[in-house]
Amino acid sequence: MGRTELTSHDQDPAHRLSLDEYWMPFTPNREFKRDPRMVVRAEGMFLWNDQGAKIIDASSGLFCVNAGHSRREIAEAVGTQLTQLDFIAPFLRAHPKQFELATRVAELTPGDLDHVFFTNSGSEAVDSAMKFALAFHQARGQSGRNVFIARERAYHGVNFGGVALSGLVNNRRKFGPGLPGVVHMRHTHLKENAFTCGEGEHGADLAEDLTRFVNLYGAENVAACFIEPIAGSTGCLVPPKGYLKRVREICDEHGILLVFDEVICGFGRTGEAFASQSFGVTPDIITMAKGLTNGAQPMGAVAVSDRIHDTIMAAAPEGAIEFFHGYTYSGHPAACAAGLATLDIYRNDGLFERGRALSPYFLEGIFSLKGSAAVADIRGYGMFAGIDLQPVGAPGARGHVFQKKLFDAGLHLKATGDAAIIAPSLIAERTHIDMIVDVLRKTLAAL
Ligand SMILES: Cc1ncc(COP(=O)(O)O)c(C=O)c1O
């Protein structure tokens, strides 16, 4: 037994758990282990902790369970799959569900983004998308295009490519120089748009940062521009009106690929399958994960356009591997089964439409918190909102205390720094929204 132990509420010594060995991700481990918050069950909109307390999940776990927790249909599909075909080498061998899921994803993606490559996470999807962009330009004889343009405050995962693209200092500062050739446009989190519900009036001109980089580095050296349509992990930063359209235009003018990282935005969060459709802007590549399997199996994917697919295919000799990239678990049978069951639920229960219909009620509730002295800004779009707290002490300190107090008051959410991020499952009823707003209001008042 380790130095730090947790005894479950029934006080049975057999249930003593050593907390020493597990290194938790993105967590102050020592603090957590002194004062742990354990979740042992989840269903629908709710979690239960190891003390038996019921906690409403206001962030769909980590923006994953868009269809609510512990869906039996998904569990059964995964169980059946694992007893039928648990694993197949994804290189040179395949199973039908990989093709079926790719087709179902392609039915949801905008435009001709109809070619789907599977990964195991959003981070892997992002790094794969970088490789697709480089391979595409090489295949069309433009191998000089190696520069990537991303944005401040972006989050594109934790692998070296994604960290280089991300605009979050804490995710990079301990890990050396990272990938060269990545530059960052300014973010669009502007004071002028404070407390704007939906797209802000100010900031479309920030898209011109892209032109400045083109002028600085030469369009012939730029591979792709990575954008989260709504920057998620840094607090739901909704794009200003016209911003994404202008980014698209500049990319087109200069032969730069536009990648939308929809790891959070995808699968109904913005009222459509993808935020691309909500904002009426079609990228060349979409990265996705999380809601793809409702969080029940680790899976990500990259959808690329006909042009990218056809160009890479055509450049390789017949019989050759066209794209030297892939993971042992790409298109894992259990993940594909989970993905198919998840997409069935979204379609059969009309969850994207449901989220779209609930959005005004949800956003009205969240924006009703505006009067609280602790609140510095609120943003929102679809079933997605961010609340910035007035900072007290070190940056992020208040946000950290806030999420702990919320959990103890019966609400789970993801906080980044001093921003609380609210993204309920699309199965939510108005009563759940009322509950979320009520706990937020009371906890803000006592902060
Ligand atoms: C936009 C975006 N990209 C990439 C990722 C990384 O995904 P994962 O944690 O599955 O690697 C995330 C995770 O939150 C994300 O929000």
Per-residue pLDDT tens over the stretch 313-330: 999 999 999 999 999 999
Residues with CB under 6 A from ligand 1: 121-123, 126, 155-157, 228, 232-233, 261, 263-264, 289
Q: Atom 7, ligand 1: which residue's CA is nearest?
A: 122
pLDDT in tens, 66-84: 999 999 999 999 999 999 9
Do strands 414-416 and 54-57 pair parallel, antiparallel, or not at all (unpaired)?
unpaired
At 294 the pLDDT is: 98
Which ligand 1 atom is nearest residue 63's CA?
A: 14
| Ligand 1 atom nearest residue 261's Cα | 1
Residue 15 has pLDDT above 70, yes or no: no
Query: For all residues of the chain together, what is the average pLDDT?
Result: 96
Distance of CA 445 from the midpoint of ligand 1 (Å): 32
Convert the pLDDT of each residue in 96-140 to its tens digit. Answer: 999 999 999 999 999 999 999 999 999 999 999 999 999 999 999
Count, residues in the chain: 447
- CB atoms closer than 10 angstroms to residue 242: 16
- pLDDT, residue 6, reads 73
pLDDT, residue 338, reads 99
Task: With 0.95 as the threshold, say if the pTM is over it.
Answer: yes
Please state the atom number of ligand 1 nearest to the C-alpha of residue 121: 10
Please tell me the distance from the alpha carbon of residue 378 to that of residue 14, in angstroms, as a whole number. Answer: 46
Q: Which of 172, 173, 174, 145 is nearest to 161 (CA)?
A: 172
Helix ranges (H only) for 112-154 are: 122-139
Rounded alpha-carbon distances, angstroms, from residue 273 to 102, 148, 355, 381: 15, 26, 11, 14
- What percent of the chain shows pLDDT beyond 70? 97
Structural domains present in the chain: 37-67+350-445 (3.90.1150.10), 74-348 (3.40.640.10)
Which residues have a Cβ under 8 Å from the Cβ of 177 and sit 6 or more positions away? none
Cα 41 to averaged position of ligand 1 atoms, centre (Å): 24
Q: Per-residue pLDDT tens for 25-69?
A: 999 999 999 999 999 999 999 999 999 999 999 999 999 999 999
Ligand 1 geometric centre to CA of 233 (Å): 8
Q: What is the pLDDT of residue 1?
A: 47
156 alpha carbon – ligand 1 mean position (Å): 6
Tell me, what amino acid is at 299?
A: M
- For 333, phi then psi, to 5°, come to -55, -40
| Atom 8 in ligand 1: residue holding the nearest Cα | 122
What pLDDT score does 7 carry?
Answer: 63
Residue 339 has pLDDT above 80, yes or no: yes
CA distance 207 to 185: 8
Tell me the C-alpha distance between 383 and 269, whole Å. Answer: 5
Distance 265 CA to ligand 1 centre (A): 10
- In ligand 1, the atom with minimum distance to the C-alpha of 62 is 14
Check if the beta carbon of residue 80 is closer than 8 Å to that of residue 338: no
Q: How far is the CA of 338 from the centre of ligand 1 (A)?
A: 19
